Amino acid sequence: MLLIPAIDLKDGQCVQLRQGVMDSATVYSTDPAAMARHWVDAGARRLHVVDLDGAFAGRPVNHELVGRIAHAAGGVPVQVGGGVRDVETARAYLDVGVSQVITGTAAVEDPDFLTALCEAFPGRAVLGLDARDGRVATRGWATVNEVDAVAFAGALDVGLFAIVYTDVGRDGMLAGVNVAATKRIALAANVPVIASGGISSLDDLRALDDLGFGPERLLGAISGSALYEGKLDFASARRWLAARRRTDAS
């Protein structure tokens, strides 16, 4: 399981929101590309980037900045979401060095788009499955649908790279990851799941690890606020995860 730092972009800055509310943004860096380099130098093996402005606008707003982040990350994979609602937008991101593109709203509202995206870019599409109280949330988390998140994940068979599952109610709240919901999604899905939302300490990583899933079912966990505020020490967590991988391999 990977620990994946989050770099959320708003007004050209690296921020974190509370429960996806734009007015709740806390700024952690005015140079997101430098922040990407910081995490890579610290040993990150994947970065999670979200264009928050793009998520609400329905189109990329920080495209140039994302390109600089991908360049700063060197060979470390960067996955990017926020406003990816057509194939050409995805192509433009991949052309600037992004490894995977994340789509959420368009995938829920137009399943044919998700199929087309996976066919156009095999292994490079990620579903951003965001949920509040078990129901899928879209359009920058502003809209909660009647669609059940577990059922939606289980019905997909389109060649995704992974699913990023976020419990919106816990995101940015440092309240702990929703282990039970993550487990249900991981068991239902046909692709690896990346946990997100509320991951605030090494205890959360332990709880996810205790599920006993390999990377083919639980690829990693995304953390933002906890890393930036020092609640979760990246170096210590990385060492613990490396030790767990050695134990599992023995």
Residue type, 14: C
Q: Is the dihedral of CA 27, 53, 61, 72 positive or negative?
A: positive
Q: Is the dihedral of CA 131, 219, 84, 150 positive or negative?
A: negative
Catalytic residue among 8, 51, 167, 204: 8
Q: Is 151 exposed, middle or buried (0-12, 13-18, 19+ CB in 10 A)?
A: exposed
- Can 209 be counted among the known catalytic residues? no
CA 163/CA 42 separation, integer angstroms: 25
Start-end of H helices in 73-193: 87-95, 105-109, 111-120, 149-155, 179-188
Residue type, 62: N
- Can 95 be counted among the known catalytic residues? no
Catalytic residue among 51, 53, 130, 167: 130
CA 153/CA 136 separation, integer angstroms: 10
β-pairing, 193-196 vs 218-223, is parallel
Please list the active-site residues.
8, 130
